[in-house]
Amino acid sequence: MFVNTEKKYIWKNSSFHKWDDTNIHILSHTLHYGTGVFEGVRAYMTNKGPAIFRLHDHTKRLFGAASKISLKIPFSENELNKAQCDTLNKNDLKEGYLRPIVYLGNEGLGLRAKDLSVNVAIAAWEWPSYMDPEAKKNGISVIKSSHKQYENPLHSGNKIIGTYFSNTMALHEALDNGADEAIMLDKNGYISEGSGENVFIVKNQTIFTPTPENCLNGITRQSVIQIAKDLKMQIYEKNIDYDDLLNADEAFFTGTAVEITPITIVDNKPVNNGKRGNITKELQDKFQQIISGEDSSYESWLTYTN
Ligand code: PMP
């Protein structure tokens, strides 16, 4: 993702800095050992102005992940919520992607991370579509990854920097093999997730998604489960075999970046007829109404930035 950074600012430890000048020291503990946490958050334009989708939930997850690796964030959740709104406004963004990151300083060298400063930065940029813009309609292709999601048990449920190594490897493997994304399996051989997405399948009008024990409990995942229930669809969390995906009527990914994106090809074979399914489309349409503020019953999921 390349961004025109000339007029952009990054929030760092309470003040704004020019994008190109917001650097970390080469000896930051996080750079060497992956000791940090991050979030991926999106803002959308609504008829009441720009709003961040489920901001409070994202910030809560950031703090949860930080506490898993004993990082004490020197700000409150409210302060970081406000900082994320401020970052969008400062960059004059009506819509976009936000990347808060918590990382350790370089006051001491070596593995011992005691007494290092805990720093927070927030960047924001335009990000209309993560995949090919047509992907929402036509779907994307996946392959089964040789990387397993249990390679680092701390990963599950947390956005901890170091644990993303296997996800990156899985995505690169997929891209090298001509697919758009990877499907990673969990320690029991069931479907876990994509490199940065949760997986859903539809069979006989019923929706299934893996239980969150062995994948990130994505905020989009939780939203889609709620939306499906509200639409009176049948939806269950359960272990999903890879064959269930191969034989699904529909399949789709969810995530802040991909939103709801159909999976139409698995291991070079079409899912059903290879076209986006009706349930996927219905969920996409409702999700679109919600993020654009058109469905006021989900208003609590939106935080207006000014
Ligand atoms: N799984 C992984 C590994 C992820 O990195 C993400 C992106 N945060 C997701 C699933 C989807 O989570 P969310 O809907 O909260 O973006």
Asked whether the predicted pLDDT for residue 4 surpasses 90, the reply is no
Task: Report pTM.
Answer: 0.96
The active-site residue out of 72, 159, 203, 281 is: 159
Q: Which residues have C-beta within 8 Å of that of residue 188, sequence separation ≥ 6?
A: 214, 239
In the chain, the percentage of residues whose pLDDT exceeds 70 is 97
Mean pLDDT of 63-80: 97
Contact (CB, 8 A) for 141 and 179: yes
Rounded to a whole number of angstroms, the CA Rg of the chain reads 19
Cβ 100 under 6 angstroms from ligand 1: no
- Tell how strand 250-255 and strand 269-270 pair up: unpaired
Asked whether the predicted pLDDT for residue 153 surpasses 70, the reply is no
Per-residue confidence at 230, pLDDT binned at 50, 70, 90? very high
Q: Which residues have C-beta within 8 Å of that of residue 113, sequence separation ≥ 6?
A: 29, 33, 35, 104
pLDDT at 114: 82
Location of structure tokens 């490897």: 169
Per-residue confidence at 49, pLDDT binned at 50, 70, 90? very high
Mean pLDDT of 236-258: 98
Sorted by where each begins, the domain ranges of the chain are 5-125, 135-291
User: Which H or E element spans position 86?
Assistant: helix 77-90
Mean pLDDT of 69-90: 97
Structural tokens at position 175: 């891209």
DSSP 101-134: EEEE-SSS-SS--TT--EEEEEEEE--S-SS-TT
Ligand 1 midpoint to CA 197 (Å): 5
Ligand 1 midpoint to CA 258 (Å): 9
**Continuous H helices in 125-241:** 135-138, 165-176, 219-230
Cβ 37 under 6 angstroms from ligand 1: no
Secondary structure letter of residue 95 according to DSSP: S
Mean pLDDT of 70-93: 97
Structural tokens at position 92: 């004059």
pLDDT at 2: 64
Residues 113-123 have pLDDT tens digits of 788 999 999 99
Asked whether the predicted pLDDT for residue 154 surpasses 70, the reply is no
The span from the CA of 20 to the CA of 17, in Å, is 8
**What's the CA dihedral at 128, 130, 133, 138 to 10 degrees?**
-140
Cβ 181 under 6 angstroms from ligand 1: no
pLDDT at 74: 98
For the question of residue 269 being annotated catalytic, the response is no
Per-residue confidence at 129, pLDDT binned at 50, 70, 90? confident
pLDDT at 221: 98
pLDDT at 158: 85
Question: CATH classification of 5-125 is 3.40.920.10, yes or no?
Answer: no
Per-residue confidence at 152, pLDDT binned at 50, 70, 90? low
Residues 168-186 have pLDDT tens digits of 999 999 999 999 999 999 9
Mean pLDDT of the chain: 94
CATH class of domain segment(s) 135-291 = alpha beta
Asked whether the predicted pLDDT for residue 105 surpasses 70, the reply is yes
Per-residue confidence at 130, pLDDT binned at 50, 70, 90? confident
